Amino acid sequence: MDTAVADSLDPLIAELRSRGFAVVGPTVRDRAIRFAEITGAAELPAGQGDEQDPGHYRVVERDDELMFGFAASPDSAKRYTQPPRQALFRMREGTVEEAEQEAPRVALLGVRACDLAAIAVQDRVFLGRHPDPAYRKRREALFLVAVNCAVPGGTCFCVSMGTGPKATAGFDLALTELTEPHRFLVETGSERGADVLAGIPHRPASAADVAAAEEVSRVAATRMGREVDTENIQESLAAAHDSPRWAEVAGRCLACTNCTMACPTCFCTTVEDATDFTGSLAERTEVWDSCFTLAYSEVGGSPVRGSGPARYRQWLTHKFSTWYDQFGVSGCVGCGRCITWCPTGIDVTEELRCIR
């Protein structure tokens, strides 16, 4: 893994765009730090941070000019690996037309270590026993520029899950934002990452640059807003099947599905069928779904999990226990989005502590 120093991100963005990538990075819009296509570094949220706590999110002004001085955005890479809505096929006058799955060339700038871990989890799901060709196309079209986290949020617990705050694998390039003077330590993680780096102005990283980057990650690891004890977590959750805590937390849960929509690893989908006004065209579309909805587990006209406690228990035990049985890893990467974006402020780390 080679390291270098770049003074500006504009050459990187320009180089990626010249290679046919749409560069998607963090911007401030809709009163949140959202990911959208950008054309230059001026569109990044310099001097903007965020407050994240259970059921609370707010963009705040920072007293510095860090471009990546914020925690996990509500947008994860899942939107680009598994789109929220995609057409599967169309029927026109008795003829079936399979919909071509789009795989745009996208460079994601600002991917955090927890989201890289989430992509690795999705890879196990969609490229494992039954590979999804459309997912593979989208993954191969992605160029991943990670940013090592310097400012964890109040709901982050990636250290507990072993997924951050420093990116160690799964990226093409990884950046650590340094100050005094402002610069970026750049690490290459793939051949095409090294090829892109060769096309932009940079200089060799000094020992002081590397040490400064390591200090950023070390300090970030000590500032996690939450933590989870994962020791024997599978056995603990299995033993807690009849815990009264499930009913207590379900009494606060709105089954709104915010947690699963914001989660970077949740992959549940359903299909919708629609026809045009003439009845000559029908289309089947795959859309995101959630295990919190009654219809998701419906069999023979009735849901398998008809109560709120059963649905919440299914979600939490799947994330932290049976996901290991299916895919060999945890379904949680510690990004904290489910805590931040829960409208009633349900804190998964608190629930795990109480249940255990």
Over residues 177-200, the pLDDT tens digits come to: 999 999 999 999 999 999 999 999
Specify the pLDDT at position 99: 85
Of the pLDDT bands very low, low, confident and very high (cuts 50, 70, 90), residue 73 is: very high
b/e code 286-298 from CB counts within 10 Å (16+ = b): bebbbbbbeebee
Residue by residue, DSSP assigns 149-204 as -SS--TT--HHHHT--SS--SS-SEEEEEETTTTEEEEEE-SHHHHHHHHTS--EE
Res 1 pLDDT > 80? no
CA gap 13, 196 in Å, rounded: 10
Alpha helical stretches, state H, the chain: 10-18, 78-81, 113-126, 133-140, 158-161, 191-198, 207-221, 233-239, 245-250, 258-262, 308-317, 323-327, 337-340, 348-355
- Residue 4, amino acid: A
| pTM value > 0.75 | yes
| Domain range summary for the chain, segments of one domain joined by + | 3-221, 233-355
CA gap 115, 24 in Å, rounded: 15
Of the pLDDT bands very low, low, confident and very high (cuts 50, 70, 90), residue 100 is: confident
